[in-house]
Amino acid sequence: MHTIVLMGTGGAKLNSTDGEQMWAFDLDALRKAFRKSVQEHKVTAADWAEHAKQFLEKQRDRQREST
């Protein structure tokens, strides 16, 4: 489960049940990267859910490798 937390400085972050946090600008960058991936791989709307799952898993793996 995810919750969005609004910050007093005008920012927002997404909290997940596994303790990970993402800031709103990270989510925007992730959204843009996903759209680009959809276009590059010519993913149909019917296949977006599976593509999103795989895309997010790859992004999470990359982030964990860099830390």
Confidence of residue 29 (pLDDT cuts 50, 70, 90): confident
The pLDDT of residue 20: 59
Contacts of 17 (CB under 8 A, 6+ apart): 1, 2
pLDDT, tens digit (0-9, with 9 covering 90-100), for 43-59: 999 999 999 999 989 98
Number of residues written out for the chain: 67
Nearest-angstrom CA–CA distance, 19 and 31 = 21
29-41 average pLDDT score: 92
The pLDDT of residue 6: 39
Q: What is the CA radius of gyration of the chain?
A: 14
Distance of CA 5 to the CA centre of its chain: 16
On the question of pLDDT at 1 being above 60, the answer is no
33-48 average pLDDT score: 94
Instruction: Find, among 39, 64, 61, the residue nearest to 51 by Cα.
Output: 39
